[in-house]
Amino acid sequence: MIKTDILIIGAGPTGLFTVFEAGLLKLKCHLIDALPQAGGQCSEIYPKKPIYDIPAFPEILAGDLVDNLMKQIAPFQPGFTLGERAETIEKLDDGTFIVTTSKGTKHHAPIVAIAGGLGSFEPRKPPIPKIANYEDKGVEYIIRDPELYRNKRVIISGGGDSALDWSIFLADVAESVVLIHRRNEFRGALDSVEKVQELKDIGKIELITPAEVIEIIGKEKVQAVTIKRGEDEFDRACDHFIPLFGLAPKLGPIADWGLEIEKNAIKVDNSLDYMTNIPGIYAIGDVNTYPGKLKLILCGFHEATLMCQSAFQRIYPEKRYVMKYTTVGGVEGFDGTKKEAPKAVIKSIT
């Protein structure tokens, strides 16, 4: 069981900055994220794109923003449970919470801060009839264990990096690899495109383009797929069909936690502290909604800051505290480091 003061669901910019603000109040944080790395959309969707509305940064790449946040929060030694989706929440009699992830990791905290952005990133599923019936029966949207495909006939569809990279990898593992894409062009990294070309030339990958899978055939499990290329339709036998069309965020299990949801977002009290309808659970950043809400990183930072003050009062109702400026109070890390403004040196002239 992982124990912490504030359990943050979502390791995007808002979640990460929460660690800093909580740290100033001596509160420890632990973050859960479905993605294997911190940074949320900034890392997953647009790390190389510039952001122009972070105060005092005329321009910063999304990836650099995340790197800076990680540096800023490092003294507060946050814990991370990455690559696991927060699945269920249980409120104990003492008002604290246990959050369990998709892999069964349990986290215990008096405060839960949902900073889940637009939700957890999940594979985009192509609208092929009855595809859901074949999930884990030959249809996989994520490759978890490449050994599953050893000496099997694999069909991959998609045109991005993951489709290319897995085609290359599985070319040495599977009995056969067929890559299907709706276009002749692939948008993946140039190296990957060239490598697939090379493997195609030596017959290790078969390319079927421009084409798409329109049907899955099989009784208990996938036995073949129907492929449409132009006006032609034909079946191709296979053991596995792996559609790799990237990830899209879905609110997911959080939607079933008894929180008030409006417009695909969690309603909060914005006049006070961004608490949800369940005391002890806050929602901050893009995941929340209130009158006038703007989904901006800078708004998420503000919400995180106010939320931490409220969380402190919930955890320590008897303690008095006033907000301190970092320029005055410095930053005392949990790792023993202390940053503070240099003291003025007063010297008399004799």
Partner 1 sequence: MTIKGHAQIISMTDIKITIIDREGVAHAIDAPTDMNMNLMEIVRSYELAPEGTIGICGGMAMCASCQCYVESDHQLPEVTDDEDAMLAEAFNVKDNSRLGCQIQMRPEMDGLIVELAPEA
Q: Toward partner 1, which CB reaches closer, 48 or 320?
A: 48
Residue 139 carries which DSSP code? B
For 265, the enclosing helix (H) or strand (E) is strand 265-267
Single out the segment in contact with partner 1 by CB under 8 A; choices: 80-88, 166-174, 180-188, 216-224. 180-188
Peptide bond into 50 cis (omega under 30): no
Single out the segment in contact with partner 1 by CB under 8 A; choices: 38-46, 74-82, 143-151, 165-173. 38-46
Annotated ligand binding at 33? The verdict is yes
CB-CB contact of 154 with 169 (8 Å)? no
State yes or no: residue 213 binds partner 1 (CB under 8 A).
Answer: no
Supply the DSSP string of 309-329, one letter for each residue.
HHHHHHH-TT-------HHHH
Q: Contacting partner 1 (CB under 8 A), which of 79, 83, 126, 333? A: 126
State yes or no: residue 3 binds partner 1 (CB under 8 A).
Answer: no
- Pull the structure tokens for residue 324: 């301190």
Q: Which of residues 128-167 bind partner 1 (CB under 8 A)?
A: 158-160
Single out the segment in contact with partner 1 by CB under 8 A; choices: 28-36, 53-61, 167-175, 182-190. 182-190
Q: Contacting partner 1 (CB under 8 A), which of 16, 222, 265, 304? A: 265
State yes or no: residue 297 binds partner 1 (CB under 8 A).
Answer: no
- R_g of the chain computed on alpha carbons: 25
Q: Contacting partner 1 (CB under 8 A), which of 91, 106, 182, 302? A: 182
Residue with tokens 């997911």: 252
Annotated ligand binding at 72? The verdict is no
State yes or no: residue 46 binds partner 1 (CB under 8 A).
Answer: yes
Give the separation between CA 116 and CA 129, rounded to whole angstroms. Answer: 31
| Range 238-259 burial, b when 16+ CB lie within 10 A, else e | bbbbbbbbebebbbbbbeebeb
Residues forming contacts to partner 1 in the complex (CB under 8 A) are: 41, 45-46, 49, 118, 124, 126-127, 158-160, 181-183, 185, 187, 245-246, 248-249, 251, 263-265, 289
